[in-house]
Amino acid sequence: MTREPVSDPAPDEALSPDDAALFAMLEHYMSSLHQGDLLSRSVMIDGNPALAKWMRYLELLDRLAPDRTAVDAASSERVPAVTEMTPQPFGKYQLLEEIGRGGMGVVYRAHQTDLDRSVALKMILSSRLASPDDVRRFYAEARAAGSLRHPNIVGIHEAGEVHGQHFFAMDFIEGRSLAQELAGGPFDPGRAAECVAAVARAVQYLHEHHMIHRDLKPSNILLAPDGTPYVTDFGLAKTLGGNSVHTQSGLIVGTIGYMSPEQATGHAPAHSPLSDIYSLGAILFELLTGRPPFQNASPIDTLLEVIEGEPPRPRQLNRHIPIALELVCLRCLEKDPRRRYPSAAALVADLEHFLRGEPLDVTPAGVVHRVLRWARREPTLAMHLGAILVCALIVQIKYMISGYDLPYHLVVMFLFGAWAGVALMCQFLLRRSGEKNGPRYLWAFADAYLLTVMLYIADDPLGPLLIGYPLLIVASGLFFRVRLVTFMTVACLMAYGMLVLVGRDPVVKPQYTLLYTAALAVIGLVCGYQAYRVRVLSGYFEGRGTRSDGETAANAAPTIARREG
Amino acid sequence: MNQTSTNDSDAFPVDPLVPLLERARQGDRDARNELFEHCRAYVSLIARAQVGSWLQAKVDHSDLVQQSLLEAHRALDQFRGTTDGEWLAWLKQIVHHNAADFVRRYGMAQRRKAGREVSLDAPRNNDSSGPTRDPSDPGQTPSQIVLRSEEQMEISRAVGQLPPDYQEVIILRNLERLPFDEIAERMGRSRPAVQMLWMRALKKLHESLEP
């Protein structure tokens, strides 16, 4: 391109003050344009109509640019936070302040000028609107929620767009979310029951209108100053009757700590109103005890517990919880949806029974179910006791058949008993101490040690019994902790070395002994590697999980950030 | 539930190109020429932004424009869109493919690919090698501001009539989205000078658009 110095200004020439101001505004707009932030456009235009044509030029020119790359799209995630701002006009609304951010968008407190009322405006982040699918989802959410009117549901007034910015307007609830309220500690049982009953009535109403909320959690429930709870954020609600193309099948939606096992496994067809019953139970659990049913440092552990674990009994965490409420709570949290309350209405009925001091409809679980529940709650202990019981039974039957050498038999049985005792003790320590690693290592060491003692006194030939070591290593892998697997492997290798040294496993063929040792090490390596892999996946999951976990829904605490420029 | 939609510039007719497009598709030669003449400035401007200035030393962007217009001409039968927006997006797509081809040819690798890898999809007709991307996928997101195609072409023409360094600063800043520091470096001027140049270019643009 040829360059002519015709229009080159003198180097020391500066922009006139007017031009400098215009330049600053255009620059600001350029950057928000590059970030895909359309909100600031409408805000800027409404503030200064003369700017409109300049901004139009910038938009037109920007449109001519090569299509955005992934890099640009990534940078567009930065959306300016608007809190404590001066009122900004937005269509027929005045934006007053940002009150929260969710997965789909920012929520502002706003004033609706024509009807002179306060509303909450939920804006969809333009970066979230990358595809027509997102827009469809947004309007589906609005449509689904807009037709609903219930004293415990946040009503939706309108959905639309202003200058390309999609939004919807809903009731503004002055108050705090249940999550914020919970920061002050658990509720007393009566209040918890009343609160969950009100939410359950709203959920029943949703179900009657063929909607599943699917993301019920304390931060999605707002408490008005008089204590009335309001259900909000139907972002993931799925219309039962209509077409449900908006939800990709199998996609895990919901927040891990409160979602039902069938949601956690991602079997989309398994979603049903009963998933919401589970979430209601999780909320009741947290209101009673001050913590969600499953709580773990890493999302993958939480996920595993949601799928296969059993929540602790609420009364173990808080002695003052009435038995009746514990029953109601655990009934909601049943793994098998068919064992839960058949409807939110049934849950409401039982909560009302409790509040009036009447007997409940729900009956305590049967013995078998209670044992199963216990086994899920304490899987490690259950596995230990089960394995010890089976081994002891076999030895006992053998003794009853042969009836030979009672003292020896008693020693063996005593050792089995001791092993069970050690397991119980370790489980006790595990539950008592906040720090889980110590008891786990102790347990691992005790297992390796006791196995070695039993092998030491066992009859020859040891051969098949040596399978115990690989078994221990593999079992330690179930915790998905590389260090624990390493620890167990080293312990087993040392224990086996001792057996060889004291001549309990005589070296007949040295290569066999070496091969067995090597195999033990390799098994440890494989299990450790598997644990490592799961951790890597977990880390990935965590990166994505934090968003859904940490997201603040409507009316959450205003984040302290100021609008730039 | 009522859905409100507020958009300025409703004064423009929605798809002024469509009648021309229809006639051109039915084989009207004059319409065809008029259509492409109408869109030349647009194609020219996006071509310059697509090529990127590092390549402009080696390639005359008018080659790219020529090539792209020729291809659009040949493949007109395959354009299936029904709106101006789709038409412009289609043109942009063609320029994009050709630009990628140019970059490959003159790029770092320096190796010439056998054959021309223009179309992303397999051509639907064997008698043409034109691009056949689904025109209903203009790569726009619904949240984007509605921009009238007529305005886009007008502004392209206006930019094309600016003095060369006005054009350059607008292309670098608005179409290539470079920061001013980098523009200053590329144009061999100081940063304040480039910023002023940009402001002047915008004003000039404004003058020519709204006389």
pLDDT of amino acid B121: 38
Residues B185 and B107 in one domain: no
A403-433 confidence digits (pLDDT tens):
778 888 888 899 999 999 998 988 888 877 7
pLDDT value for A88: 66
- Cβ contacts below 8 Å, chain A against chain B, sum to 153
Q: What does the pLDDT look like over A71-82, one tens digit per residue?
A: 333 333 333 334
Per-residue pLDDT tens digits for A145-180: 777 888 888 888 887 777 667 777 888 888 888 888
The last residue of one of the domains, among B133, B153, B186, is B133
Any chain B CB within 8 A of the CB of A160? yes
A504 and A529 in a single domain? The answer is yes
Residue B116 and residue B119: Cα distance in Å, rounded?
9
Residues 6+ apart with CB under 8 A from A232: A153, A154, A170, A173, A220, A221, A222, A553, A554, A555
**Residue B197: how many CB atoms within 10 A of its CB?**
24
- B29 by Cβ neighbours in 10 Å (0-12 / 13-18 / 19+) ranks as exposed
* Claim to verify: residue B112 and residue B173 sit in the same structural domain: no
pLDDT beyond 70 at A134 = no
Task: Give chain B's domain count.
Answer: 2
Residue-level pLDDT at A297: 63
Residues B124 and B23 in one domain: yes
- A181 and A301 both lie in a single domain: yes
Q: pLDDT per residue over A312-332, tens digit each?
A: 888 888 888 888 888 889 889
Q: Which residues of A touch B143 (CB under 8 A)?
A: 36, 38, 124, 126, 129, 135, 164-166
A24 shares contact with chain B (CB less than 8 Å):
no
Span A456-461, mean pLDDT? 78
A186 lies in the same domain as A305: yes
Chain B nearest-CA distance from A209, in A, is: 17
User: Does a structural domain hold residue B100?
Assistant: yes
- Percentage above 70 pLDDT, chain A: 76
B96 with B196, same domain?
no
Residue A119 is predicted with a pLDDT of: 87
Which residues form the domain of A162? Answer: 88-173
Residue A142 and residue A190 in one domain = no
For A220, the token pair is 């999605």
Residue among A381, A387, A464, A450 at smallest CA distance from A418: A450
Query: Which one is predicted more confidently, B7 or A28?
Result: A28
Query: What's the structural domain count of chain A?
Result: 4
Nearest chain B CA: its distance from A18 CA (Å) = 11
Find the range with the poorest average confidence among A184-198, A460-474, B93-107, B141-155.
B141-155
Domain boundary among B133, B153, B174: B133
In which domain, by residue range, is B172 found? Answer: 162-211
Same domain, B182 and B89: no
Residue A419 lies in a domain: no
Does A197 lie in the same domain as A325? Answer: yes
User: What is the CB neighbour count within 10 angstroms for residue A421?
Assistant: 10
Task: Say if residue B185's pLDDT is above 80.
Answer: yes
For residue B174, the 8-state DSSP code is I
Instruction: Give the CATH number of the domain where residue A135 resides.
Output: 3.30.200.20
Out of B91, B117, B133, pick the residue that ends a domain.
B133
Residues 56-115 (A) with a CB less than 8 A from some CB of B: 56-67, 91
Give the per-residue pLDDT at A86.
54
| pLDDT reported for residue B134 | 37
pLDDT at A400: 87
Residue B182: its pLDDT value, please? 84
| pLDDT over 80 (residue A136) | no
Exposure string over A2-16, b if 16+ CB within 10 A, otherwise e: eeeeebbbeeeeebe
Q: Which residue has the tokens 């595990």?
A: A430
DSSP codes of every residue in A40-52: HHHHHHHH-TTHH
**Residue A492 placed within a domain:** yes
pLDDT exceeding 90 applies to what percent of chain A? 10
Measure Cα distances from A503 to A467, A496, A500 in Å. 18, 11, 5
Whether the predicted interface score ipTM is above 0.90: no
Domain membership of residue B36 (yes or no) is yes
CA distance A244 to A251: 13
Verify that B101 and B186 share a domain, yes or no.
no
Does pLDDT of A335 surpass 80? yes
| pLDDT-above-90 percentage for chain B | 0
CATH number of the domain that residue B179 is part of: 1.10.10.10
Record the tokens describing residue A66, joined without a space: 């090569």
In a domain, A557, yes or no: no
Same domain assignment for residues B121 and B64 = yes
Residue A378 belongs to some domain of the structure: no
> Same domain for B97 and B168?
no
Q: Are strands A117-124 and A156-162 parallel, antiparallel or unpaired?
A: unpaired
Mean pLDDT of A356-360: 83
For chain B, how many residues are written?
211
Residue B192 is predicted with a pLDDT of: 87
Tell if the CB–CB gap between A130 and B141 is shorter than 8 Å.
yes
Look at residue B3 and tell me whether its pLDDT is greater than 70: no
Q: Which SS3 state, helix, strand or coil, does residue A248 take?
A: coil
pLDDT at A33 over 90: no
What confidence tens digit (pLDDT) does each residue in B84-143 have? 777 888 888 888 777 777 766 665 443 333 333 333 333 333 333 333 333 333 333 333
Q: Is the pLDDT of residue A495 over 70?
A: yes
Pair (B205, B103) in one structural domain: no
Tell me, yes or no, whether B24 lies in a domain. Answer: yes
Asked if B194 and B184 count as a contact pair (C-beta separation under 8 A), the reply is yes
Q: Do residues B88 and B167 share a domain?
A: no
Which tokens belong to A528?
């450790």
pLDDT by residue (tens digit) across B43-64? 888 888 776 655 555 566 777 7
Contact A7 B156 (CB under 8 A): no
Look at residues A104, A110, A126 and name the one whose alpha carbon lies nearest to residue A39. Answer: A126
**Averaged over A190-196, what is the pLDDT?**
89
Q: How many angstroms away from the CA of A86 is the closest CA of chain B?
A: 23
A50–chain B Cβ distance below 8 A for any pair: no
Residue A408 maps to a domain: no
A212: nearest Cα among A271, A135, A260, A143:
A271
0.90 surpassed by pTM: no
pLDDT digit string, tens, across residues A297-308: 666 777 777 777
Residues B26 and B99 in one domain: yes
Given a cut of 80, whether residue A10 has pLDDT beyond it is: no
Residues contacting B94, CB < 8 A, separation 6+: B68, B71, B72, B75, B130, B131
A287 lies in the same domain as A352: yes
Give the CATH number, domain containing residue B81: 1.10.1740.10
The CATH number for A291's domain is: 1.10.510.10
Instruction: Please tell me whether residues A212 and A354 are part of one structural domain.
Output: yes
